[in-house]
Structure 1
């Protein structure tokens, strides 16, 4: 077996095995979901880019947030839709690693952008007089680049370490490729110590992101308690951010809890939904939440709709 491990060029995905009787309905619903994700995210991105009044840090970060949603969903939906039309569900060795890179870097970038958004709201509400110097164009560009490049490099390192492992199986019991499953396919005994160390470092880095966000909002709430003006700012701009954060954490934590403690006896359809909900709920809800809650964007969307109806 060890002599043949290098011959693995395809991975078999098994997540669809029990749902293929309804694949026409599933394909239609998935396609509608993906088109809706594209519609709401692209609409928000175009509005922010074209309207110069929205060229402020908060809206630029929102634009990046939506772009990241498009990036993450592009790594899943086209391949999944193809699988629904195909009698076999396989992915190439290289394609599997690329998909794992996209999935993980998308999730980590979401958390990084949420952390930058929390810093932006802290600066706007707690340090209003210094806001434009604190969130200068140069610093904003640096933070945006960090939010995208750092997760890509960190997850890329994990993927490169995984790609050096010799694999003794090509069976992935999921709808898409996941790095920890690829590692679990390594031939025994395998040298996965470095992989585990880097994985734990990655987890610690993004736990600190979460801690920073919590600290920022504790400070924001403390600042806003005694100020009517700050409370209004908090309700207008921070509540959408908090809602996005809770949705993101809820979907990710549910998947993690299912992986570690979930029963394998759950219906395959439910297991599939738990696995992909972070690619369904946040990309749909985030632009809707911000679109309805942020006055400038809501007014701009309504003006576009009104103009087209005339």
Structure 2
């Protein structure tokens, strides 16, 4: 049988050599019945105290076809005359450590980045759906400040305030996010955040900002940039600013976190003034940064 080995010692059995039921070699007998998650006894199938061929088969199946649901996985096994039940599959997944989408996603990333696995289109799509920032894998800054991305987000009505915009920056190297709220869409607001908040923090850590990609498909944003670029004060910053129509996954990830934390609903119920909802937005930023595994506190932690 063919195997690929990752640095995490996960052995992935290639599907073209996946065993049929009659070819599985049981390393240790299993009791005739096991307790299912609802407390009832179910007939046992050959599972293993250690990872065996059946486990490797399931690992390969889940990683090769990450969108497959339990019905499709069971159908695959049944066609190979491996009579798994739904409860058996749940137990097998738990034993393999692949019982949720995030684990599958993280495993695929490890196998790709550390193990050299060439991802197929389904795997890439699955990772990008769960971790949008994976779309930036073609960007490879080597230190903080080398590449930031910026976008003016949403512009939706919040209670009596009307339209509110979030000017949002993220460092592609650290994954660290900055931002602020305004009732103005103007690029000047984003630049003010850059000058008053971001640049001083980087300079205090002896890092220099080099490049900002501005994500936008709005012509007014491009006109704002052209006007800004002609100003002497901007040119003296020594900063490259590049407008692009690319939608960055890291920004999409932050948008999803705002929705998950019910920012808009909470803000709408406390929308007496813009100042009254700014602390709520700042809390979302802090929570986002603290939960970001790519963020390294040694670089930019704010004291």
Shared fold by TM > 0.5?
no
Q: Which has the higher strand share?
A: 2
User: TM-score range with shorter-chain normalisation?
Assistant: under 0.3
Q: Which has the higher helix share?
A: 1
Please say which structure displays the higher CA radius of gyration: 2
Q: Output the TM-score relative to the length of structure 1.
A: 0.23
Q: Output the TM-score relative to the length of structure 2.
A: 0.24
